[in-house]
Amino acid sequence: MNINCEILDLRAFLAVLELQGFHRAADQLNMSQPALSRRIQKLEQAIGAPLLERTTRHVAATALGTELVPLVQRMLEEFDGSLFSMRELGAKRGGLVTIACLPTAAFYFLPSVIRQFNQEYPNIRLRILDLTATDALQAVARGEVEFGINIMGSSDSDLVFERLAEDPFVLAAKRDHPLAEKKEVRWEDLEPYPLITVHRSSANRTLLDAALARSNIKLNWFYEVTHLSTSLGLVEAGLGISVLPKMATPQGDHPFLITRSIRNPEISRTIGIVRRRGGTLSPAAEHFMRMLIGAWRQT
């Protein structure tokens, strides 16, 4: 006797039990509740008996469903393990990964991850589009890239974010600057010095201005630039100080520059991985994304 069911039918069955309801299970599986119900009904028809007991407030496994749970779990574990092995083999053979990345992440953070990835997967090429936050989101939405590294906050229902880290805004100054003597500074400490900031079109500037406005703080800039890297160049030349995300500053000891935390209030941007909802990644992109997440959580 042949039993006709799909892997997704089995995943649906376990999700309903683990999340104790159809609504949460449907959200997790990125499907509608009617589609989820059809999956369960199809599995029950294939088995020939009810697997779930449903009431208006509660979902539980029937006696047969309870017996089936460990078998289904084992089947899915074996399937996922085999699939992972195939993905691993495919990733090592070669491929191309295209991502969209904020320039601030691309400049200092990304190279170390790429180096590690290249050692494990030397045959995989990387195409990195260093774009503004808005352009990067659009590239993900249009399918031009497999995923992006971006500032969280878009309300686009077609995109899914996975939060990675908080990236605080910090002071950047020369080592011989008066503020370098402080372990941390307050916003009012910046007022006597020429301030270098990025243009209002920058998502970082928009986020920073909005957060400061809520605390009735306004920064009086002296130099305005388009790119954060330019602001660091002006700081290094001794023309002023700058406020920028910590990720955009040199990591470790720099011969000319220092960074200091800014308090009262502390302001940060949320960095995350952005993907198309319901989209799938190539094996190579999946490996690269997981390596990025792992490296970020170690920082």
pLDDT in tens, 126-136: 999 988 888 89
Q: How far apart are the first and last CA of the chain?
A: 54
Q: Rounded to an integer, what distance in angstroms lies between the CA atom of residue 219 and that of residue 237?
A: 21
The tokens 């995943």 sit on which residue? 11
The torsion angle over the Cα atoms of residues 88, 89, 93 and 94, rounded to 10 degrees, is -30
Which residues in the chain come in under a pLDDT of 50?
Answer: 1-2
Q: Rounded to an integer, what distance in angstroms lies between the CA atom of residue 153 and that of residue 106?
A: 20
pTM (two decimals): 0.62
Among candidates 132, 242, 225, which has minimal Cα distance to 190? 242
Q: Rounded to an integer, what distance in angstroms lies between the CA atom of residue 100 and that of residue 78?
A: 34
Confidence (pLDDT) at 241: 96
The tokens 């993905």 sit on which residue? 87
With H, G, I as helix, E, B as strand and everything else as coil, classify residue 128: strand
Q: Rounded to an integer, what distance in angstroms lies between the CA atom of residue 187 and that of residue 292?
A: 33
DSSP string for 183-218? SEEEGGGGTTS-EEEE-TTSHHHHHHHHHHHHTT--
DSSP string for the chain? ------HHHHHHHHHHHHHTSHHHHHHHTTS-HHHHHHHHHHHHHHHTS--EEE-SS-EEE-HHHHHHHHHHHHHHHHHHHHHHHHHHHHHHH-EEEEEEE-HHHHHHTHHHHHHHHHHH-TTEEEEEEE--HHHHHHHHHTTSSSEEEEES----TTEEEEEEEEEEEEEEEETTSGGGGSSEEEGGGGTTS-EEEE-TTSHHHHHHHHHHHHTT-----SEEES-HHHHHHHHHTTS-EEEEEGGGSPPS--SSEEEEEEESS--EEEEEEEEETT----HHHHHHHHHHHHHHHH-
* Contact indicator for 243, 58 with CB cutoff of 8 Å: no
Among candidates 13, 9, 19, 12, which has minimal Cα distance to 52? 13
Q: What is the CA radius of gyration of the chain?
A: 25
